[in-house]
Amino acid sequence: MIFEILNDSGEVVNTIVADLEFVQAAYPGRYREVPQPPPVDSRPPVITKVAFRFRLTDAEYVGILTAAKSDVAVQAWLETFNMVSQIDLGNQRTKDGVALLVSKNLLTQARATSILTDPVQESERP
């Protein structure tokens, strides 16, 4: 952990990396922990097909299924969706496919953005 060492006036005189036990013993009452940002997840935003499906509401999904019966572009999107085993939310083809659904009024732009950019949960990963 990172600690700031303080003088009697509470001013920072040093910054050290140590464990809490050492700092408590060496600088009793004259330290404060420096908060660390949470680690950044550098894994690509890849989710299972089921996770992508459940990022859609039931009404949105039913709308897509219904539209696929009469709109070849939506049918092609649905067939492609059914072919893949996982979805890379950062992939341009994925973004283009979701944009198609927006252009067909099957999703709003706000929903599309949410579907593509909400943080990937551990349970959504392959």
- The pTM (predicted TM-score) of the whole model is 0.71
pLDDT profile of the chain (126 residues), mean per 10:
96 97 97 92 95 98 98 98 96 98 98 97 96
**pLDDT score of 41:** 84
Retrieve residue 1's tokens: 């952990």
Bridge partners, residue 87, by sequence: 47
Do residues 67 and 106 touch, judged by C-beta distance below 8 A? yes
How high is the pLDDT of residue 38? Answer: 87
Q: Is residue 5 a contact partner of residue 32, using CB atoms and an 8 Å limit?
A: no
Strands (E) in 18-77, as ranges, are 31-33, 46-48
DSSP state of 14: E
